[in-house]
């Protein structure tokens, strides 16, 4: 695909999404321009400047908060099914704009077009889920120990939800939070990654049109732009009842401490160091497909990317050789070309981390089975394209214990039974996603048991990457413990209240205490 063709395609997508022309400033989505520094968004696909966004100052932020607070007073009073109708309309708008938004995600972040379109589909799916959920925000009733009393519990909206998202899923993670928060009656303020700001502008434009069409206040959905300093405005602000933050463990620990200091609520989705266990009863073909997709999809920049492959010694050479053959077939290049499997890393800083990780694993005693490297020449002008690599290593290596956001797969060998493999898998600080490849029922059930995987996600005969909307998404240990998306994750966006009603003419007191009045 010619570079000029890419530019024309993205210009068309930006126009359809209401984002201004290339290299022009855009507002924060609240009808005023931010007064802070200029953020320039460069595409890792070709290194070209896509556009500029004005960052949010403290004064701008105060205007956003005031707008959100005012909107919440009306939004919370709208019946939940009616709020669900607004989310339904948002989902329909996403259906109309799926192609251009998917193209923008692919171009600004660097993931393949198929993955970009898939990310927008996740937004549509969570909208569908939230619409049904808007009629199911149920509490419980319970029997009181006191005659003539009724007890029940109900859920109320929290207020303002602050969302801090990462570059690797520049639109989907926001929608996981907002679709649920909106039907719960909350309003949202979103700080997207400064590495993919135009995606947030596009999403804000879409929901702003829906709100305007329904004569609803714009403060139901707000965005702020900038670096960690803008995020700190939210994390230290007691008016923001919940902070949902996606990013690194380092960032999550900072956010958790700041929000805890004001006794606020957090939902943390942090790093993953995900492993697939390959037992002697594994299907080799399925194993290779799952491992390759998990390791190289999104150029290894998913929180659920497969980073470790724990292989039984009896299968080790066979699996290794199959992976080497599979990696020879990978096509690396422009992610908007659907013939390519792997696109670029997000920026040159990510490339340096990738290079350092490869050097580190060799220094610690590992060896490269499939050597990596930075690609140069025609089609790779951005300097962000790298070769997916495979290294033989040990689980205790410092670099293996660390999450590197890049397409590097570590091969680890185990002997004995599956308990030994599970111990290796659990032997990291992260606890997001995990998988086992086996046709042995006992091994599968052992992996899923209370003494099995310690991760928030545990799969059998599928890889670590990818998650369905219907299930709660999140992890344990230093992954943060948060849950987004499906199941009962909606409860984190609401406050719980227990109610007791006395419908008698008497007032019995606790512990049999009596007042003669």
Q: What's the confidence (pLDDT) of residue 98?
A: 98
Tracing tokens 């966006």 back to the chain, one arrives at 493
Residues 69, 239: contact at Cβ < 8 Å? yes
Is 269 catalytic? The answer is yes
Catalytic residue among 222, 303, 384, 455: 303
Residue 467: its pLDDT value, please?
A: 82
Looking at residue 141, the DSSP 8-state letter turns out to be: E
Q: Encoding tokens for residue 200? A: 């947030």
Which ranges of 158-244 does DSSP label H, i.e. alpha helix? 172-183, 197-213, 228-235
Cα 465–471–472 angle (5° rounding)?
90
DSSP summary character for residue 245: E
Compute the Cα dihedral for 225, 231, 236, 237 and give only its sign.
Answer: positive
Report the pLDDT value the prediction gives residue 510, as an integer from 0 to 100.
75
Matching residue, tokens 């992996």 = 447
Q: What is the pLDDT of residue 512?
A: 73
pTM over cut 0.85: yes
122 is known as an active-site residue: no
3 state DSSP class of 473: strand
Question: Exactly one of 103, 122, 269, 484 is catalytic; which is it?
Answer: 269
> What count of residues does the chain have?
517
How would you classify the pairing of strands 389-392 and 476-477?
A: unpaired
Per-residue confidence in pLDDT tens, the chain, 517 aa: 455 678 888 889 999 998 874 333 333 333 334 678 999 999 999 999 999 999 999 999 999 999 999 999 999 999 999 999 999 999 999 999 999 999 999 999 999 999 999 999 999 999 999 999 999 999 999 999 999 999 999 999 999 999 999 999 999 999 999 999 999 999 999 999 999 999 999 999 999 999 999 999 999 999 999 999 999 999 999 999 999 999 999 999 999 999 999 999 999 999 999 999 999 999 999 999 999 999 999 999 999 999 999 999 999 999 999 999 999 999 999 999 999 999 999 999 999 999 999 999 999 999 999 999 999 999 999 999 999 999 999 999 999 999 999 999 999 999 999 999 999 999 999 999 999 999 999 999 999 999 999 999 999 999 999 789 999 999 999 999 999 999 999 999 999 999 999 999 999 887 777 777 7
Cα separation, 52 vs 27, whole angstroms: 10
Do the Cβ atoms of 42 and 108 come closer than 8 Å? no
In angstroms, the CA 307 to CA 409 distance is 5
35 vs 32: CA distance, rounded Å: 9
Taking Cα atoms as reference points, which of 372, 343, 432 lies closest to residue 44?
343
């Amino acid at each position: 695909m010619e570079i000029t063709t890419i530019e024309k395609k993205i210009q068309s997508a930006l126009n359809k999404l209401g984002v201004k022309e290339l290299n022009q400033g855009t507002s924060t989505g609240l009808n005023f321009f931010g007064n802070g520094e200029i953020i320039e968004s460069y595409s890792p696909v070709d290194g070209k400047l896509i556009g500029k966004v004005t960052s949010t100052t403290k004064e701008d932020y105060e205007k956003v908060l005031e707008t959100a607070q005012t909107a919440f007073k009306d939004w919370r009073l709208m019946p939940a099914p009616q709020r669900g109708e607004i989310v339904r309309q948002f989902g329909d708008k996403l259906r109309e704009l799926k192609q251009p938004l998917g193209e923008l995600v692919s171009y600004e972040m660097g993931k393949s077009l198929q993955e970009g379109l898939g990310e927008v589909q996740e937004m549509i799916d969570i909208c569908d889920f939230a619409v049904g959920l808007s009629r199911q925000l149920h509490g419980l009733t319970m029997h009181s120990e006191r005659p003539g009393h009724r007890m029940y519990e109900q859920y109320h909206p929290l207020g303002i939800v602050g969302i801090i998202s990462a570059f690797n899923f520049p639109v989907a993670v926001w929608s996981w939070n907002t679709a649920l928060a909106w039907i719960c009656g909350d309003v949202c303020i979103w700080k997207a990654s400064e590495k993919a700001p135009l995606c947030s502008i596009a999403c804000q434009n879409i929901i702003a049109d829906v709100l305007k069409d329904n004569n609803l206040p714009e403060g139901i959905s707000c965005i702020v732009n900038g670096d960690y300093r803008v995020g700190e405005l939210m994390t230290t602000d007691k008016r923001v009842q919940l902070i949902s933050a996606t990013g690194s463990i380092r960032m999550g620990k900072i956010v958790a401490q700041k929000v805890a200091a004001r006794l606020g609520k957090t939902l943390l989705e942090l790093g993953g160091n995900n492993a697939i266990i390959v037992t002697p009863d594994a299907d080799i073909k399925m194993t290779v497909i799952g491992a390759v997709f998990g390791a190289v999809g999104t150029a290894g920049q998913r929180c659920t990317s497969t980073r470790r492959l724990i292989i039984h010694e009896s299968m080790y050479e066979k699996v290794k050789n199959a992976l080497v053959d599979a990696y020879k077939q990978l096509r690396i290049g422009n992610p908007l070309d659907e013939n390519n499997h792997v696109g670029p890393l997000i920026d040159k800083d990510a490339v340096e981390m990738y290079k350092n990780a490869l050097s580190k694993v060799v220094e610690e005693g590992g060896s490269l089975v499939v050597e990596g490297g930075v690609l140069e020449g025609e089609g790779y002008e951005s300097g962000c394209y790298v070769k997916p690599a495979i290294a033989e290593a040990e689980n205790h290596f410092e670099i293996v214990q660390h999450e590197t956001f890049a397409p590097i797969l570590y091969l680890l060998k185990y002997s004995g039974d599956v308990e030994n493999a599970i111990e290796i898998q659990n032997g990291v600080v992260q606890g997001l996603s995990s998988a086992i490849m086996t046709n042995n029922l006992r091994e599968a059930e052992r992996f899923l048991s209370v003494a099995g995987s310690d991760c928030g996600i545990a799969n059998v005969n599928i890889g670590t990457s990818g998650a369905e909307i219907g299930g709660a998404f999140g992890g344990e240990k230093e992954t943060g413990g948060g849950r987004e998306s499906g199941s009962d994750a909606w409860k984190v966006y609401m406050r719980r209240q227990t109610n007791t009603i006395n419908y008698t003419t008497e007032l019995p007191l606790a512990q049999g205490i009596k007042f003669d009045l």
